[in-house]
Amino acid sequence: MNSTAETTLTPPHANTPEMGELSPYQAGPVLTQATLAHNGIALEWLDGQKTTLPLLWLRDHCACPACRHPQTRERLYLPLEPITEPPSVALLDGHLHLQWQDGHVSAFHSGWLYQRRPEAELTSAVPNAKPWVDNFTPEHISHSDFLTPLGEKAWLTAMLRDGLALITDGPLVEEEVSRLAERIGPLRATNFGARFDVRSKPNPNNAAYTAVGLPLHIDLPNWRQPPDIQLLYCLQNGASGGESLFADGARVVEALRQESPEALTILSETPIDFRFQDETHDISMRAPVITLDSAGNLVEMRLNNWIRDALHLPVEQMDAWYSAYALLWKLFHSEAHQLEFTLRPGQMVAFDNRRVLHGRREFDPNSGARHLQGTYLDRDMLASRLRVLARNV
């Protein structure tokens, strides 16, 4: 049935359908044709774009209050049965209206359908991870700018793209790291608490609470789900030494792939054990040092030599694993892949803990005070916050 045919469809919806979406879709072109086809509804928009959508897909995506909860926007309709009888079809003010054989009416905004047609390229406010290049410099966003939607959006974009970004010129007040983090989402608590202090102290249960140098590592690879994003806010840094070190796992994995594909295979396919234990905790996990997706891209690193547990592998695999591990360590700690700078009071560095390794130079605790406060966030919260900001910024 062509949309211009004599159709006496009078839906209970307004002629401009509301799709229950918070992201904008209203700017898309209007429909000029809607025609029944053997495999669904054939649609054409004002700009000439065409598609055909199956009947069950259209019924499944009805946004009326009976099919989508009007407050939560969650789907109520369950698409279990095929649709064998076609609906009546009409265009009202350029939007699609369907009346199904059971009398139910579905209305679809033309712009919403245009965004979701199968031929459309999926877009997202969340950037893909981008490996560092030579002379990479992380984004610096001032504290005052971060407190604006535009500045926060720029910081979030840099974090999700580069895995590392800084906030500068912040106040020297306790718990500011928590206040900044909570703008984005709830703090991710671990056995070290939801918010922790990084400074030298008696009887430490972690190397970070000493003055020794810390080779590059990720935090908590002994957890099934290591923290995604780490934030470190500098309150004092008057000690001699203690420069911060960072290296991009995405970049180093590509270097390892070029130098020794065999080593990459060993480290990405051989699970080993990680374990943290003190008087009150014993947390362990078995996983590879490198996890790749099906396309060979980095998913996560689990490189932390302190809490690597006893190597439990067949004897004939051990030498090859140690050789691959040594090569990866060498690449991470080469000057070509390391970024080094001194974190100043009032600065906060944040990084993707499962991608970007961090460390520090040794410092002299007798030469001045050094105090950082830290916390963790889930990456999903950064992506969520960025999508919300992108609706209006």
The domain ranges of the chain are 1-123, 139-390
Chain segment 68-103, per-residue pLDDT in tens: 999 999 999 999 999 999 999 999 999 999 999 999
Fold adopted by 139-390 = Double-stranded beta-helix (3.60.130)
CA atoms within 13 A on the CB side of 1: 16
Residue 380 contacts by C-beta under 8 Å, 6 or more apart in sequence? 185, 228
Q: Which CATH class is domain 1-123?
A: alpha beta
Given pLDDT bands bounded at 50, 70 and 90, which one contains residue 5? Answer: very low
Chain position carrying tokens 């078995």: 286
Tokens of 207: 């190397």
Res. 10: pLDDT tops 80: no
Give residue 2's pLDDT: 42
Three-point CA angle 254, 330, 239, nearest 5° = 110
> Among 4-13, 183-192, 304-313, 349-358, whose mean pLDDT is lowest?
4-13
Tokens of 281: 């905790």
Chain segment 152-197, per-residue pLDDT in tens: 999 999 999 999 999 999 999 999 999 999 999 999 999 999 999 9
Percent of the chain with pLDDT over 70: 94
Q: What is the mean pLDDT of the chain?
A: 93
Q: How far apart are CA 337 and CA 152, in angstroms?
A: 28
Domains 1-123 and 139-390 agree in fold: no
What's the DSSP call for residue 37?
A: E
- Enclosing H/E stretch for 385: helix 379-390
* Exposure letters 167-177 (e unless 16+ CB within 10 A, then b): bbebeeeeebb
Q: State in Å, rounded, how far the first CA of the chain is from the last one.
A: 42
Q: How far apart are CA 177 and CA 374, in angstroms?
A: 7
Name the more confident of 59 and 9. Answer: 59
Neighbour-count burial of 35, counting CB atoms closer than 10 A to its CB (0-12 exposed, 13-18 middle, 19+ buried): middle
For range 231-254, the mean pLDDT? 96
Check the CA dihedral 97-99-100-103 and report its sign.
Answer: positive
Q: How far apart are CA 74 and CA 16, in angstroms?
A: 21
